[in-house]
Amino acid sequence: MKLILGLLVLLSVSACTEKPQILDTKKVTAPAYMGAHNGYVEKGWTPGDKTSWEAQLKARAQGQNEYSRVE
């Protein structure tokens, strides 16, 4: 009886363990404004152009600005 109880305790404790979640990080060597060269980029932004990247960031931030949205 003790053997069965011990096995049940062992199984219930082992069910509580979690496998480690290791994030596979890759070092990014290119600057963010280099971006992706595909059809999913924002219109008006050309990958590799830092000034258009900054303009897109400014336009996105302005769209989230509550003061400019209030009439």
- SS3 readout for the chain: CHHHHHHHHHHHHHCCCCCCCCCCCCCCCCCHHHCCCCCCCCCCCCCCCHHHHHHHHHHHHHHCCHHHHCC
The pLDDT value recorded for residue 7 is: 85
Q: How far apart are CA 57 and CA 61, in angstroms?
A: 6
Q: How far apart are CA 36 and CA 46, in angstroms?
A: 9
Q: Is the pLDDT of residue 61 over 80?
A: yes
**1-55 confidence digits (pLDDT tens):** 888 888 888 888 776 777 777 877 777 778 888 888 787 887 877 888 899 889 8
